[in-house]
Structure 1
Amino acid sequence: MDKKSRLTRSADFQRVYRKGKSVAGRQAVLYYFDRTDESGEEGPRLGISVSRKVGGAVVRNQVKRVIKEAFARFQQQVAPDFDYVIIARPGLANFIEESRFEDVVETLSDLFQRADLTRDTD
């Protein structure tokens, strides 16, 4: 994931939390904010938040890497010009420990579909 497609500043995260909407699942929460009116940047941007409740530093970094990889798989199918923040819950770490990458992809895909943020690639 290149630097342009990541949320890095605290102000960006706060804007998504305050002005955006959210969809929650058992393993993760998705916050999303339509930034078409606010910036000239193109494409979706992703921020990831993993608390210490999920696990130690090694586990948290594994979760972040897997979320980035999963998001990259369907990045072309999500609505552009949105900022997304994915908050991992402890259940997501269980998928990763059990090497169930496809379940992580399915979980995130389900959140995006429930938020009606996917588009057809036809």
Structure 2
Amino acid sequence: MEKIYRLAKREDFNKVYRYGKSMANHQFVLYYLPQPKLEQFRLGVSVSKKVGNAVVRNRLRRMMKEIIRLKKENMTPHYDYILLARKPVTEMDYAEMEKSIWHVIRKASLLKRNDVIKK
């Protein structure tokens, strides 16, 4: 994920957690906060220690970022997003994870074009 699309600072994460809205399914939680001054969206990814060891968490984090990166044109701009992984994600393969991530984003009505991503 390019630098302009990254949400990295602790204060930015805290702002999204505190003032943003959230949407969830069994595998992921999506927090989102409008940022009208931004030209694009910014994404932060978080995987708790409860999910697994460092190897597992880093692998999940990379997969989550790659899923968003490949279809970033479908994300609504002018938002900060935080995507949290829950424990059931560890048993999913890439395709199931992709489907679940886009499900939670669609559920939050944050897709730019609904016709691009199929169920």
Q: Which residue of 1 aligns with 2:5?
A: 5
Residue of structure 2 in register with 1:112 after alignment: 105
Counterparts of 1:48-67 in structure 2, within 5 Å, are 48-67=45-64
Query: In 1, Cα distance between the equivalents of 2:70 and 2:25?
Result: 20
1:82 corresponds to 2:76: no
TM-score for the superposition, normalised by structure 2: 0.91
2:68 pairs with 1:71? yes
Q: 1-side partners of 2:86 and 2:71: how far apart?
A: 21
Alpha-carbon offset, residue 74 of structure 1:
2.2
Q: TM-score, normalised by structure 1?
A: 0.89
Give percent identity, aligned residues only: 37
- The offset of 1:94, in angstroms, is 1.4
One-letter amino acid of the counterpart of residue 111, structure 2? T
Aligned residues: 115
2:52 partner SS: coil
Flag structure 1 segments of 5+ consecutive residues without an equivalent. none
Unaligned runs of 5+ in 2: none
Q: CA RMSD in A?
A: 1.3
